[in-house]
Amino acid sequence: MNSATVRNLLVRGMLAGLGAGLLALVVAYLLGEPYVDKAIGFEAAHSHEHEMAVVSRSLQSTAGLATGVLVYGVAFGGIAALAYCFALGRVGRFGPRATALLLSGCALLAVYVVPFLKYPANPPAVGNPDTIGRRTTLYFLMMLLSVLLAIAATLLGKRLAPRLGNWWATVAAITAFAVVIGLAFAFLPVVDEVPADFPASVLWRFRIAALAIQISLWTGFGLLFGELAERVLHPKPATVAAGTAVPAAH
């Protein structure tokens, strides 16, 4: 793949990330923000300290949310596009659209779902401020481990395919991934800092909303980028304009 094609895919990946970010923004605003407000209300009702907010809640839930989600969408879209350039043709005989969806699905699983199952997202009022550094480190460690194991499982599947066939090689690779991830779940520290009186329904629905945001982001990116990549890699032949004379064959 030449540098011009890579550059075109990178630009389109960032555009697809922006489009997917808009979709995720709608989901975040409609599903996530109501439970953030409830969690903040719980925190305010149980806190004896009342500090003046530097940024108003209305600004946080609109412009602040939009800026964060859209910048994240553009950034991850560019990174995903570069990963796509590397993966295209190396993960099987898939076309541009199918490769984009496969990459998005695997990235969703490795980058978000697996770490989420070990260290799920929490709303405000959940978590000790003194342990935020430790919790952040553990989360990113789980994410890094998940991504590296996903890459290792892909390489394992490709190596086993000539001997076992594609089906059993895939089963073996997924099994190996699941076993090692299970060991990581067992040995990494557990984080449980949910206040005893925090509403369970708010916590549950906030986490479902957080998962829905990521699913909409990665799915939207896979569909949008797949279509854009298809047009770059398999452009349609130019049609003859109506009324233009076609030279007769001799």
CA-to-CA distance for 57 and 30, rounded, in angstroms? Answer: 15
pTM summary value: 0.83
What mean pLDDT comes out for the span 118-145?
Answer: 87
- Residue 45 is predicted with a pLDDT of 72
Evaluate if residue 184 carries a pLDDT over 90. Answer: yes
Asked if residues 80 and 107 have their Cβ atoms less than 8 Å apart, the reply is yes
Read off the pLDDT of residues 37-94 as tens digits, 9 standing for 90 and up: 888 777 777 665 555 556 676 777 788 888 999 999 999 899 999 988 888 777 767 7
The pLDDT value recorded for residue 5 is 86
Over residues 23-34, the pLDDT tens digits come to 999 999 998 888
Q: What are the residues whose beta carbons fall under 8 Å from the beta carbon of 98, sequence distance 6 or more?
A: 226
Percent of the chain with pLDDT over 70: 89
Give the pLDDT band of residue 36 (cuts 50, 70, 90).
Answer: confident
pLDDT tier for residue 174 given thresholds of 50, 70 and 90: very high
Question: Minimal CA–CA distance to 150: which of 119, 184, 122, 120?
Answer: 184
Nearest Cα to 13, choosing from 160, 241, 237, 220? 220
